Amino acid sequence: MTIPLRRLLLMILVIFSLCWVVQQSASAQRQDPASEDAIPPALTHYMGREIAQTMHYRGAPWLTRDNREEEERCSLLLANLGLKRGMTVCDMGCGNGYYTLKLAQMVGPEGRVLAVDIQPQMLEMLKERAERAGLENIEPILGEVHDPKLPAGEVDLVLMVDVYHEFSHPEHMLAAIRESLAPGGVVVLTEYRAEDPNVPIHPLHKMSKRQIMKEFTPNGFRLVREFDRLPWQHMMFFQCEDSVRQ
């Protein structure tokens, strides 16, 4: 059976039209920063350091274990943050909210805590704990591996407790954190000490001061203070290089 020329031409035109639509849609998706294609490839190593995998949400009970205060002196960490009521604070990689709830109490109802995690299950656990504690100044934020989704220029302090070493996109995350800081804002980094073999943590989840400085300095941060009295962790305070100069 032969196909009339007019119908054949129409079919060819329809096929070409559909191919063009598909091509344009794919091109738009590649250009859309919200699409999955826009997410940069994850790194396995950064500046000579192997990047650890993110702790799965099924391991969340370890974050709220009964002996955590005894092992890590979390209250001492909190007491040396320099928090004031009314501050806007970010708990980066908040998990199920061990520190988030404490931060919310410290900044008071007039302050707020931006609780960022990339696992929705962690945020659900956090919400349940915050509700039981009657805390209403916590804002859970589902971040992405390369973007914490923080508001620009509003955050007084970003706390990262044993989480930075898991960032698969450290440069993107540090750039976003810089953008989020209010004038004079501070990033407080705590990481298990790689220099101390007595710290009972897998080496992949430790960082040395030398490595921390190697990564933070070229990403626009300057060390402004340290607190060295925690039993297992470094506690280092950074500000943006431009902020320090001013």
DSSP string, 180-195: HEEEEEEEEEEEEETT
Mean pLDDT, rounded, of the chain: 89
| Sole residue written with tokens 């974050």 | 63
Tokens of 215: 């990564």
DSSP string, 88-113: EEEEET-TTTHHHHHHHHHH-TTSEE
Alpha carbon distances (Å) from 12 to 15, 18, 119, 189, 235: 5, 10, 47, 61, 67
Q: Choose the CATH number for 45-245 among 3.40.50.150, 3.40.190.10, 3.20.20.70, 2.60.120.380.
A: 3.40.50.150
pLDDT in tens, 14-39: 344 434 333 443 343 334 444 445 78
pLDDT of residue 112: 98
How, if at all, do strands 138-142 and 233-240 pair?
A: unpaired
pLDDT band at 244 (very low <50, low <70, confident <90, very high): low
Is the model's pLDDT at 2 over the cut of 90?
A: no
pLDDT of residue 35: 46
Mean pLDDT of 175-186: 98
pLDDT band at 242 (very low <50, low <70, confident <90, very high): confident
Element containing residue 132 per DSSP (H, E): helix 120-133
pLDDT of residue 243: 64
Is the model's pLDDT at 96 over the cut of 80?
A: yes
pLDDT in tens, 27-86: 433 344 444 457 899 999 999 999 999 999 999 999 999 999 999 999 999 999 999 999
Mean pLDDT of 97-120: 98
Task: Tell me if residue 180 falls in helix, strand or coil.
Answer: helix
